[in-house]
């Protein structure tokens, strides 16, 4: 019967220890009890140590601020170069080069149009200067003829009427030719100014389009705006990260650049543990992918609404966020993290297993082995967790405690605290 009683007590303690992550300790106690068959010999010593109650949860490390580098507007091309996933980059480093034959061909066409326009302007300018010179020569010729005719005006007084009429007409024709040359010269100048402005406007438009196109082509080379860890974005066409040769288009994410200097860990925690956690609790973080790295932070946010652990499940998980205030090394985003959340820390205090402290006569008591006898000792408890209890009064360091409650006949005496 003693062994059965011992087994029942150990199983009870074991289930309590599951929540406190101390199951192996109590399994060893069960084996010890089974071997000895005497609950009076199953003891432990009161120790002075730091009491730490914690919740262990898994989470994912992520950056607080992330910059997504995407393909620019009006771009459709193919990835020609892409930085390795997970590479650390500095501000200004090239992280991706996109190749677009359509954009290159469009630039070539614009440059050809600009070259043709410049040639047309050169030809038009040469033609204008030639025509201007001819018209000027005609006007000067008419002026010379008019001058010569005016010199013969005295002779006209003594000439026969017919010759006088002929010379008058010739003089009038010279004046008309001179005026026509002058009008042609003015019209040619107006036409030149209009055509010159037209081609100038067209060439300005071409220069603007060429500049825009060159800027778009320059946008095919993507550079890191800040220091960080380059994470390749997922392809929109296939379930994998982008790679060289993939087609990309406007607003398509190519590289995600998280700020690794400002990280946090996001956890999904069951409701029972969630209620025990408070904002500003300290967190000790380790990483499965980098066992040598550790980080420390505090709980910064608790989401008030939970979500089902799985479809139709009654178990709810709540999102809890912890800051990363310091770390031994750079943390890779999306790394799995094991977080130990410190709920309570009491330094340099007397700590005993919680199974050693029981209720008796509306008080907390522990069973102490003194001088070979069992004494029921009243104790004052400062704090109790499922696995450990902090004792304020009633016990001393080194006291030997029974892990299991003895029978009433085995208790030699009862010791009470002074009021």
| pLDDT tens-digit series, residues 37-93 | 455 568 899 989 998 889 999 999 998 888 899 988 888 899 999 999 888 888 899
Contact assessment for residue 195 and residue 224, using Cβ atoms and an 8 Å cutoff? no
State the Cα–Cα distance between residues 265 and 335, nearest whole angstrom: 9
For residue 145, the model assigns a pLDDT of 67
Closest CA to 225 of 335, 74, 70, 81: 70
For residue 156, the model assigns a pLDDT of 60
The average confidence (pLDDT) of the chain is 83
Percentage of the chain with pLDDT > 90? Answer: 42
Helix or strand (DSSP H, E) at 210: helix 161-218
pLDDT reading at 19 higher than 50: no
pLDDT, greater one: 390 or 310 = 390
For residue 20, the model assigns a pLDDT of 42
For residue 29, the model assigns a pLDDT of 43
379 pLDDT tier (thresholds 50, 70, 90)? very high
Q: Does domain 69-98+221-258 have CATH number 2.40.50.100?
A: yes
SS3 104: helix
In the chain, where the domains are located: 1-38, 69-98+221-258, 102-218, 259-345
Q: Is 228 left (phi over 0), alpha (psi -120 to 50) or beta?
A: left
Contact assessment for residue 82 and residue 244, using Cβ atoms and an 8 Å cutoff? yes
For residue 187, the model assigns a pLDDT of 83
Instruction: Return phi, psi of residue 147, to 5°.
Output: -65, -45
For residue 31, the model assigns a pLDDT of 39
The 3-class secondary structure across 214-275, one letter per residue, is HHHHHCCEEECCCCEECEECECCCCCCECCCCCEEECCCEEEEEECCCCEEEEEEEEHHHHH
Contact assessment for residue 330 and residue 343, using Cβ atoms and an 8 Å cutoff? no
Percentage of the chain with pLDDT > 70? Answer: 86
146 pLDDT tier (thresholds 50, 70, 90)? low
* Average confidence (pLDDT) over 216-235: 88
Rg (CA), the chain: 49
For residue 143, the model assigns a pLDDT of 72
Instruction: Return phi, psi of residue 138, to 5°.
Output: -65, -40
For residue 18, the model assigns a pLDDT of 41
The token pair at 241 is 């990260």
For residue 86, the model assigns a pLDDT of 83
**pLDDT tens by residue, 245-254:** 999 988 899 9
State the Cα–Cα distance between residues 177 and 171, nearest whole angstrom: 10
SS3 247: strand
CB atoms near residue 216 (< 10 Å): 17
Helix 161-218 to helix 101-151 angle, to the nearest 10 degrees?
160
**pLDDT tens by residue, 291-325:** 999 999 999 999 999 998 888 888 899 999 999 99
For residue 158, the model assigns a pLDDT of 64
The token pair at 291 is 């066992």
SS3 385: coil
Contact assessment for residue 44 and residue 353, using Cβ atoms and an 8 Å cutoff? yes
28 pLDDT tier (thresholds 50, 70, 90)? very low
CB atoms near residue 270 (< 10 Å): 15
* Average confidence (pLDDT) over 164-180: 74
State the Cα–Cα distance between residues 397 and 416, nearest whole angstrom: 18
State the Cα–Cα distance between residues 249 and 261, nearest whole angstrom: 31
Query: β-strands 373-378, 411-415: how paired?
Result: parallel
Contact assessment for residue 390 and residue 383, using Cβ atoms and an 8 Å cutoff? yes
For residue 11, the model assigns a pLDDT of 44
What CATH number has the domain spanning 259-345? 2.40.30.170
For residue 113, the model assigns a pLDDT of 93
The token pair at 308 is 């089902």
150 pLDDT tier (thresholds 50, 70, 90)? low
- Beta strands (DSSP E) in 46-106 are 47-63, 66-70, 76-82, 88-89, 94-99
For residue 190, the model assigns a pLDDT of 85
Buried b (16+ CB within 10 A) or exposed e, 32-43: ebeeeeebeebb
Closest CA to 110 of 242, 202, 233, 239: 202
For residue 41, the model assigns a pLDDT of 67
For residue 266, the model assigns a pLDDT of 96
* Average confidence (pLDDT) over 221-236: 88
Closest CA to 3 of 29, 37, 32, 31: 37
pLDDT reading at 359 higher than 70: yes
């Amino acid at each position: 019967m003693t062994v059965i009683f011992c087994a029942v007590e150990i199983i009870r303690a074991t289930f309590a220890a599951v929540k406190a992550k101390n199951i192996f300790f109590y399994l060893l106690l069960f084996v010890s009890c089974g071997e000895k068959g005497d609950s009076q010999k199953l003891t432990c010593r009161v120790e002075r140590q730091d009491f730490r109650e914690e919740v262990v949860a898994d989470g994912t490390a992520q950056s607080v601020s992330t910059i997504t580098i995407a393909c620019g507007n009006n771009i459709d091309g193919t990835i020609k170069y892409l930085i390795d996933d997970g590479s650390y980059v500095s501000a200004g480093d090239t992280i991706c080069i996109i190749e677009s034959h359509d954009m290159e061909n469009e630039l070539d066409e614009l440059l050809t149009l600009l070259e043709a326009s410049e040639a047309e302007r050169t030809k038009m300018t040469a033609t204008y200067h030639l025509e201007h010179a001819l018209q000027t020569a005609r006007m000067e010729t008419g002026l010379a003829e008019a001058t010569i005719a005016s010199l013969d005006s005295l002779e006209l007084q003594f000439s026969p009427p017919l010759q006088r009429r002929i010379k008058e007409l010739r003089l009038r024709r010279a004046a008309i030719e001179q005026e026509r040359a002058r009008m042609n010269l003015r019209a040619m100048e107006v036409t030149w100014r209009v055509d010159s402005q037209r081609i100038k406007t067209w060439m300005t438009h071409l220069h603007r389009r060429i500049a825009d196109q060159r800027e778009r082509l320059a946008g095919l080379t993507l550079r890191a705006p800040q220091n960080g860890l380059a994470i390749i974005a997922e392809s929109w066409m296939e379930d994998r990260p982008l790679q060289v040769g993939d087609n990309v288009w406007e607003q398509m994410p190519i590289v995600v650049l998280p700020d690794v200097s400002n990280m946090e860990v996001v956890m999904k925690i069951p409701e029972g543990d969630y209620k025990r956690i408070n904002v500003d609790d300290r967190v000790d973080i380790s990483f499965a992918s980098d066992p040598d790295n550790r980080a420390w932070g505090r709980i910064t946010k608790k989401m008030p609404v939970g979500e089902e652990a799985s479809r139709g499940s009654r178990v709810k998980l709540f999102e809890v966020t912890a800051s990363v205030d310091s770390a031994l090394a750079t943390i890779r985003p999306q790394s799995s993290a094991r977080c130990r959340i410190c709920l309570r820390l009491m330094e340099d205090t007397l700590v005993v297993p919680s199974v050693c402290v029981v209720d008796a006569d509306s008080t907390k008591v522990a069973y102490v082995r003194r001088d070979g006898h069992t004494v029921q000792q009243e104790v004052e408890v400062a704090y109790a967790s499922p696995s450990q209890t902090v004792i304020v009064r009633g016990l001393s360091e080194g006291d030997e405690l029974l892990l299991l409650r003895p029978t009433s006949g085995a208790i030699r005496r009862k010791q009470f605290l002074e009021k």
